[in-house]
Amino acid sequence: MTGTTAATGQRADMVRNRRLLLEAATAAFAERGVEVSIGEIAQRAGLAKGTVFRHFASKEELLAAITLQMLDQLIRAAKRLLTADDAAAALREFMTDGVELLAADRAFCEVIGRPSLQHSGVRDTIGDLCEAAEALTARAREQGAVRGDVTGTDVVLLLGGIHQTAAPLLATQPQAWRRYLELALDGLRATDAGPLPQPPPGRPRLT
């Protein structure tokens, strides 16, 4: 085997191993939250524990990689929905998809709120998500479908809020989040309600 062929094979193995680790970690964290051990993730992936640390310097780096995947998924959904004629329906679909994603993944909200996850890529991507949500929300405002003082950041924060509200019911009523999503959507609609008592928030930050 030539040096070039060996290097190509090693790169292919690295790509494969990273994919296996991300798939195993995503499933494990979704099922049990962020306390899953690196050893269990390696076992699920069929790899040695040391292989995890060759790809990710720490558990926090692995969590950040998974979080980025999920945020990118939400951003792609928002951008796809920008072409919809009915802006209100598009915003509803985005919020439904977002809360459903959170409800299916136990770790996501835990990861976003972890004090130790000060990852610049995650922070930047949260900003990108807020911008994508703002584009959807602006179209809904223009069509008179939502109140004029609602922002994309409001919408992003509501996704987590709706999920957290329904989280205690998840084991016995896994679809309870739909009730609270509908309540939130009712609150977003353009009505004769007075102005909101506080100014719009800035982008969410990891605290």
Q: How far is Cα of residue 152 from the mean position of the Cα atoms in its chain?
A: 15
Task: State pLDDT tens for residues 133-191.
Answer: 999 999 999 999 999 999 999 999 999 889 889 888 888 998 999 999 999 999 998 77
- Say what the pLDDT of residue 170 is: 83
- Say what the pLDDT of residue 108 is: 66
Report whether 24 contacts 44 (CB < 8 A). Answer: yes
Mean pLDDT, 10 residues at a time, over the chain (207 residues)?
58 86 87 85 90 87 87 94 96 95 74 57 88 96 93 93 87 91 91 74 60
Which phi and psi (to 5°) does residue 184 adopt? -65, -45
- Say what the pLDDT of residue 118 is: 61
- Say what the pLDDT of residue 115 is: 46
CA distance 137 to 73: 18
CA distance 94 to 39: 35
The DSSP secondary structure of 41-87, one letter per residue, reads HHHHHTS-HHHHHHH-SSHHHHHHHHHHHHHHHHHHHHHHHTT-S-H
